[in-house]
Amino acid sequence: MPSKPDEFQIPSLAQWAQAASKSAPGGQIEALHWLTPDGITVKPLYTAADTADLPYTDTLPGFEPYLRGPQASMYAVRPWTIRQYAGFSTAEESNAFYRKALAGGAQGVSVAFDLATHRGYDSDHPRVTGDVGKAGVAIDSVEDMKVLFEQIPLERVSVSMTMNGAVLPVLAGYVVAAEEQGVSQTQLSGTIQNDILKEFMVRNTYIYPPAASMRIVGDIIAYTARNMPRFNSISISGYHMQEAGANQALELAFTLADGKEYVKTAIATGLDVDEFAGRLSFFWAIGMNFYLEVAKMRAARLLWCRIMKGFDAKSPKSLMLRTHCQTSGWSLTEQDPHNNVVRTTIEAMAAVFGGTQSLHTNSFDEAIALPTEFSARIALNTQLIIQEETHITSVIDPWAGSYMMEKLTHDMADAAWKIIEEVDALGGMTRAVDSGWAKLKIEAAAAEKQARIDSGRDVIVGVNKYKLKTQDAIEARDIDNVAVREGQIQRLQQVRAQRDTAAVRAALDALSFAAGHGGNLLELSIAAMRLRATVGEVSDALEQAFGRHRADTHKVSGVYAAAYDADNSHADTMEYWNALKADIAAFAQAQGRRPRVMISKLGQDGHDRGAKVVATAFADLGFDVDIGPLFQTPEECARQAIENDVHAVGVSTLAAGHKTLVPAIIAELKKQGGEGIIVFVGGVIPRQDYDFLYAAGVKGIYGPGTPIPVSAQDVLAQIKKVLAD
């Protein structure tokens, strides 16, 4: 063994390239480069030359620009907080889950609300019959909040709440429930998401127009800064952007641009930047692009420090970016679902290597249904094993000094900064969102990604490669939506019967007046919730002044086809694609018009990535495509489908309302004279529900991972069959 370094012969980079090119495709070393969806080139080899001119590579954690972590000691002293995001049907069931998770090692509570609550409707509202308790916990009043946190000491347990649209009554209800538990506002710790801008781009659980919504954000930041010193007033979220299709650079840029907008909004209320900025936090999605995710988180801290210096922030807490992370839900597959345990573990490690402050790990069955107790325990133990068994926590920022990671971090920062500059040129994120520009950028990225998967260019193990011939049955959690709603209505009736109706009406009137004339809306919401106003009533009082937002519906065109056509390495998929286009063209010639489909979202499910991607791909194949507005009732959807003379209605569902809403749309089509219109369904649908839906009259079910051309061919065949009959 050599005893001195100089006994080794160090080759030149040119010598390495010559040796490596012998095995490179076509003998070209450039063929080994990876061009990421963000436009960043990742090389197969990095050397000291790649980092020689980069700034900040010799910085330390806990110091500006915080690239290596916001705290000096990071996990070596205190690991990240394990925080499992959950909400199941009723407050009682969710409370039982939280208490068991806390006993099993979780260190905080993270609440998922149902879509009726998100959209500011009480459970007895006619528009939410299929949504109550299905994708989270139903909360209508302080009484529900008290049950949700029963025997959970809120002075010690940090609570995170993913809430944006109905943020005022929900946060107010939490504050009042804590008070009645004997916990003051000054003792409360946790985070309210309160990130409304991203809702207009991707998740769509908004209620009021953008300007009014930003007013609410500012009031919450101002109130919490003065009354809740341990509570984070906003969690600026990129998570739902990546889940909707954004690549890492786009997620990073739009999230930080949102952050800039919220800082400007808070300053406009009269606050000094250092009075509130230390309690802003961020929320990232962590997907399967391992290196890019680590680089994204390191770059985020670097850029946020730069942004906050632009606001003349002085406090270190104002300059450092702190974040919660969640492993990707979109990367989970229905096919061969136990593979998802591996995916979540890899994503969790990327979050840890990136320096997260808290983490939620998804359960392996979430592409099928809400997680079971069994799958949730595996998700929780994934974090415990990383924390307790691997010794990963013993080293602060282990990627520091890596030629590749340092270069990739700066490349990611540069790519995101260019997008931030585009946003600034448009006048800021509120205008970028209001114009629809930001949303279309994400939808284009989503369509491109889906085309790469459907063509086989991007591999998903078990979905488009190494597929099983048969799938094992997986136990899935099923929520009895009817029973949950009936229970919520009963509790609502009790609350309304026992309260001082006149006092509640006066409090709601004061809230409506303040919305139009000034006054802190969170303070007034707390007063109303103390008197037992409901979530829906507070939301309605604000709607009287603000109105309810109605989004324009657009679709991108040509992106899916362009990405599909760009891949020439899979001749069989291209042959299939071209044959299907020819078949659709032949249908149009024979029928005198193209096959026409309407892509719909029913109920309060605003997750429209799948709907928009399907609409884009079907249009690129040659279908005429209509997109129904979000939040339709079955009656409204049927009416539009008949008026537009469509051949088929496609229902996209991700929120478990399909057993209620899909039979309803079929019944409405028959009732209104549209018996010849077929209905197909796509999204997160447990296999155990397929027979139920087919019996209800559904003609096609396309679960996660179904290539869009395959579903399109089947829909075309179903349309032909109906016309032939």
Pairing assessment for the beta strands 596-600 and 158-162 based on DSSP bridges: unpaired
Can 258 be counted among the known catalytic residues?
no
What three-state secondary structure class fits 456? coil
> Which residue among the candidates 66, 75, 85, 291 is catalytic per the annotation?
85
Does residue 605 have an active-site annotation?
yes
User: Dihedral of CA 532/537/539/544: which sign?
Assistant: negative
CA 164 to chain centre: 13
Taking CA atoms, 521 is separated from 162, 215, 233, 259, 298, in Å, by 19, 9, 14, 21, 36
Eight-state DSSP code of residue 80: P
- Residue showing tokens 């489908």: 641
Contact status, residue 235 vs residue 322, Cβ threshold 8 Å = no
Residue with tokens 């980069």: 54
- DSSP H helices, 547-646, are 559-565, 571-591, 609-621, 634-643
User: Which residue of the set 240, 407, 612, 647 is catalytic?
Assistant: 240
As beta bridge partners, residue 231 has: 190
The Cα 145–Cα 97 span in angstroms is 15
Gap between the Cα atoms of 131 and 138, Å rounded: 9
549 classed as catalytic: no
Which residues are bridge partners to 160 per DSSP?
110, 191
Residues paired with 191 in a beta bridge: 160, 232
Residue 597 has φ and ψ, to the nearest 5°, of: -125, 155
State how far the Cα of 401 lies from the Cα of 452, in Å rounded to an integer.
Answer: 33
Q: Which of 607, 658, 659, 699 is catalytic?
A: 607
Taking CA atoms, 434 is separated from 208, 221, 615, 616, in Å, by 13, 22, 22, 22
CA separation for the pair 177, 148 (Å, rounded): 9
Q: Residue 25, preceding bond cis, omega within 30 degrees?
A: no
Q: Specify whether 324 is catalytic.
A: no
d(CA 611, CA 603) in angstroms, rounded, equals: 14
Annotated catalytic residue, options 601, 612, 647, 658? 601
C-alpha distances (whole Å) from 181 to each of 147, 173, 176, 499 are 11, 12, 9, 19
**128 to 210, 602, 653: CA distances (angstroms):** 23, 10, 14
Instruction: Identify the CA nearest to 408 among candidates 26, 666, 104, 40.
Output: 40
> In whole angstroms, how far apart are CA 372 and each of 103, 265, 655?
17, 41, 16
Q: Pick from 378, 357, 366: which is nearest to 158 by CA?
A: 357
Q: What is the DSSP string of 214-237?
A: HHHHHHHHHHHHHH-TTEESEEEE
Based on the residue annotation, tell me whether 124 is a catalytic residue of this protein.
no
Report the amino acid identity of residue 199.
E
Give 357's Cβ-side CA count (13 Å radius). Answer: 18
DSSP for 457-494 reads: SS--BTTTBS--SS------B---HHHHHHHHHHHHHH
Q: Residue 439 corresponds to which tokens in the numbers above?
A: 């949303």
Q: DSSP labels for 158-209? A: EEEEE-STTHHHHHHHHHHHHHHTT--GGG--EEE---HHHIIIII----S-
| Sequence letter at residue 342 | V
Q: Which two tokens stand for residue 529?
A: 């919730």
Cβ-Cβ contacts under 8 Å for 710 (sequence gap 6 or more) = 702
Q: Catalytic residue among 605, 608, 620, 626, which?
A: 605
3-state class of 603 per DSSP?
A: coil
3-state secondary structure of 361: coil
Tell me if residue 647 is catalytic.
Answer: no
**Rounded Cα distance, 104 and 83, in Å:** 12
| Contact yes or no for 67/298 (Cβ under 8 A) | yes
Which of 174, 208, 223, 239 is catalytic? The answer is: 239
- Give catalytic residues, as residue numbers: 85, 239-240, 601, 605, 607
